[in-house]
Amino acid sequence: MMIEFNPGLIMIIGGLFVPLLSGMGRRVLLVALPVAGLAYTIALDPGMSQTTDLFGYTLELLRVDKLSLVWGYIFHIAAFLGVLYAIHEDDPLQGTMAQLYMGSAVGAVFAGDLITLFIYWEVTAISSVFLIWATGTERSFRSGMRYLIIQVGSGVLLLAGAILIVADTGSIAFNHIGIDSLGGKLVFLAFGIKCAFPLLHNWLQDSYPEATVTGTVILSAFTTKLAVYALARGFAGTEVLIYIGAAMTAFPVFFAVIENNLRRVLAYSLNNQLGFMVVGIGLGTELALNGTASHAFAHILYKALLFMSMGAVLFRTGTVKASELGGLYKSMPWTATFCIIGAMSISAFPLFSGFVTKSMILTAAAEEHRWIIWGVLLMASAGVMEHSGIKIPYFAFFAHDSGRRVKEAPINMLLAMGITAALCIGIGIYPDPLYAILPFPVDYHPYTTGHVITSLQLLVFAALAFVWLTISGLYPAETPSVNLDFDWVYRKLLPRFVGWLKSGISEIDRSGRETLLGIVDDIMAFVHRHHGLDGTFARTHPAGTMVFWAVALLGLFLVLYLIA
Amino acid sequence: MSDHNQDRQGEAPRWLDNPGNVKKLLWLLAAIGLALFATDALYHKHVHFQAESVFGFYALFGFGAFVAIVLAGKYLRKILMRPEDYYDD
């Protein structure tokens, strides 16, 4: 009989011992924790559960079913790869926080009730910000603060929604929620923030490029995919998600085209990939949800691979700005190769992982006769080819030779990239093991003649379009710049508005005081005219002087009393 | 962040450094594209939507969408682009 507990606890509790060790001991522990977590997760079977009673409510600390297992597996794999990629670093704080973060993401996936989910949800927020702050710059600190406020805010909304749901239903269980009730709407918004819905998305592009070389790789895997899991659990088949998801696939594409920071391009690209998953959740059919789960699985790997390759470039050259890079294939051939494998995977080339997963979502949209959504997703697929398939590898490793000659990435980074690349190709060539762990039985065959040919047509002609645009000089040059996005509202407009409000309030305050003082002066003048030495009352009443002074003194007392 | 610019003197030119070779690659890509386009005549496409039955639909869509996205991005830049230190005040 196996002792049943939430596998996230392995990395959370184990992570607390990270600062106590140093050197080889710490490295072994860092790698061993996700491996142990994965082994334990593989041993779990659907239906297993662990509950405890608290204040009359039943907390389900562990809930194992097919949906949570998909995320449980891939989160541990990503954790292992992320740790391996970072193992050259001697930073106990980042090491500890990464374990807490990854462990709590796993914990949240296996949480069976909203309160347990909330606790893990907040721990992911608080622990992950250290991966941004570890960069150690003023810029990363401020970006991390914005990230933290937004992430914790998401947790507060989740808690508020959970309380309303408990009041309505009397149950804290985390199952299908729906957006009919106010509580449901709040939880939906909480998940939406973490999932980077349009207009709630900017924390992602703001913070991920500011995190450390290794931090971004780890961040990219967990937070947003946890949100995708939570949406799939609580809001499958919610119509509005189809439109939100479609918008998410489309708009980041345009920003990615013009963005100069290649890690920010990848953050936009991540946002775009989440859109495909959200559409799948909104469609809510078995094929669509299988598509979402498998796409999340494949996406975590190729997105981590792309962030790893750009991290290696940043590590060696000190920059990831497209305008400062180029020609790096000469000095970083392995990194370039792995990056291209990631690029082909995300672009969904046949034999690469994206091909066998993303297409399930497109097919599901087509089967539901949603031709506009399908068209948007297809357009976004061409966009993926643009920003991740071509732009990332081309401007970093080819294009105009920047003259930079650097060392190849460290061996542990190459190893992590190599394993991730092998998994991307492995899933593409032989998707059956992935299909076997999906929530619903899979009756889908990616390698049909039509699918292979149409995919290749789309991608090769997109590449030809790039060639034509570049040769004709129409392709926009990479320029050092930032591009305004929705974060402009709270980074520029709102501070400006607050500044205006502050000066407005002090203006009203000043003129208010002046008016009041004027009135007091007028009253005093009036009193003086009638009660003063030559005043009417003074003349008819000789005692007026005394009275006036008595009144004045009483008034003064009153004023002093009021002030004191 | 080491060895920013190691000595490049005496470095042997790479195959890709020769513009002629790049041209060869691009012609190869064009040839592959042409072949893929023609393939539509050779098999029966199972379609969900009418548009898909247009000859070479996916090729045309891929090319058109890519150009549209890049050109749209280019014009978007006129509205959205700011100097790098825009937020640093």
Q: What percent of chain A has pLDDT over 70?
A: 96
CA distance B87 to B89: 6
| pLDDT exceeds cutoff 70 at A130 | yes
Chain B hits for A378, CB-CB cut-off 8 Å, are 61, 65
Please answer whether residues A137 and A49 qualify as being in contact, where contact means their C-beta atoms are separated by less than 8 angstroms. Answer: no
Please answer whether residues A51 and A171 qualify as being in contact, where contact means their C-beta atoms are separated by less than 8 angstroms. Answer: no
Residue range A185-220, pLDDT digits in tens: 999 999 999 999 999 999 999 999 999 999 999 999
Residue range A58-96, pLDDT digits in tens: 899 999 999 999 999 999 999 999 999 999 999 999 999
Q: What pLDDT was estimated at residue A13? A: 97
CB-based contact, B78 to chain A, within 8 Å = no
Question: Could you tell me the two tokens for A391?
Answer: 């732009």
CA distance A63 to A58: 12
Burial of B64 per CB tally in 10 Å (0-12, 13-18, 19+): middle
| pLDDT exceeds cutoff 90 at A12 | yes
Chain B hits for A136, CB-CB cut-off 8 Å, are none
Chain B hits for A258, CB-CB cut-off 8 Å, are 73-74, 76-77, 80-81
| pLDDT exceeds cutoff 80 at A371 | yes
Task: State in Å, rounded, how far the first CA of chain B is from the last one.
Answer: 28
Query: Torsion over CA of A484, A489, A491 and A497, rounded to 10 degrees?
Result: 130
With cut-offs at 50, 70 and 90, classify the pLDDT of residue A544.
low
Q: What pLDDT was estimated at residue A336? A: 97
What does each C-alpha distance from A80 to A12, A37, A106, A120, A135 come to in angstroms?
Answer: 14, 10, 13, 20, 22
CB-based contact, B48 to chain A, within 8 Å = yes
Instruction: Flag if A457 and B36 touch (Cβ within 8 Å).
Output: yes
Instruction: Flag if A317 and B1 touch (Cβ within 8 Å).
Output: yes
The ipTM (two decimal places) reads 0.89
| pLDDT exceeds cutoff 90 at B11 | no
DSSP H helical segments within A259-391, as ranges?
A: 262-283, 286-317, 333-346, 353-367, 371-384
Q: What pLDDT was estimated at residue A492? A: 86
CA distance A483 to A255: 8
With cut-offs at 50, 70 and 90, classify the pLDDT of residue A42.
very high
CA distance A293 to A460: 27
Chain-centre distance of CA A456, in angstroms?
31
Q: What pLDDT was estimated at residue A545? A: 67
Residue identified by tokens 């082909």 is A344
Instruction: Flag if A482 and B82 touch (Cβ within 8 Å).
Output: yes
Please answer whether residues A451 and B53 qualify as being in contact, where contact means their C-beta atoms are separated by less than 8 angstroms. Answer: no
Q: From the list B26, B32, B80, which residue is nearest A484 (CB)? A: B80
Chain-centre distance of CA A41, in angstroms?
25
Chain A, 305-324: which have a CB under 8 Å from a chain B CB? 315-318
User: What average pLDDT does range B7-16 have in this prediction?
Assistant: 77
Q: From the list B56, B61, B71, which residue is nearest A378 (CB)? A: B61
| pLDDT exceeds cutoff 50 at A110 | yes
Chain A, 370-399: which have a CB under 8 Å from a chain B CB? 371, 374, 378-379, 382-383, 385-386, 398
Question: Could you tell me the two tokens for A182?
Answer: 């106010």
| pLDDT exceeds cutoff 70 at B22 | yes
CA distance A278 to A292: 7
Crossing angle of helices B57-80 and A240-258, rounded to 10°: 70
Cβ count within 10 A of residue A272 = 24
CA angle A249, A391, A354 (to 5 degrees): 50
Instruction: Flag if A450 and B45 touch (Cβ within 8 Å).
Output: yes
User: What average pLDDT does range A504-532 have in this prediction?
Assistant: 87
3-state DSSP call for residue A431? coil
Give the pairing type, strands B81-82 and A49-54. Answer: unpaired
| pLDDT exceeds cutoff 80 at B1 | no
Distance from CA of B57 to the nearest CA of A (A): 8
| pLDDT exceeds cutoff 70 at A232 | yes
Q: Which residues contact A55 (CB under 8 A, 6 or more apart)?
A: none
| pLDDT exceeds cutoff 70 at A535 | no
Chain A hits for B86, CB-CB cut-off 8 Å, are 482
Residues pairing with A53 in the sheet: A58
Average pLDDT, chain A: 93
Q: What percent of chain B has pLDDT over 90?
A: 43
Note the residue count of chain A.
Answer: 564
Chain B hits for A374, CB-CB cut-off 8 Å, are 48-49
User: What average pLDDT does range A428-432 have in this prediction?
Assistant: 97
Chain B hits for A453, CB-CB cut-off 8 Å, are 36, 39-40, 43, 58
Burial of A55 per CB tally in 10 Å (0-12, 13-18, 19+): exposed
Residue identified by tokens 């290696």 is A312
Q: What pLDDT was estimated at residue A161? A: 94
| pLDDT exceeds cutoff 90 at B87 | no
Which of A207, A258, A493 best tests the B interface by mutation, with the highest count of B CBs <10 A?
A258
3-state DSSP call for residue A51? strand
Q: What pLDDT was estimated at residue B2? A: 40
CA distance A274 to A292: 9
3-state DSSP call for residue A296? helix
Instruction: Flag if A317 and B4 touch (Cβ within 8 Å).
Output: yes
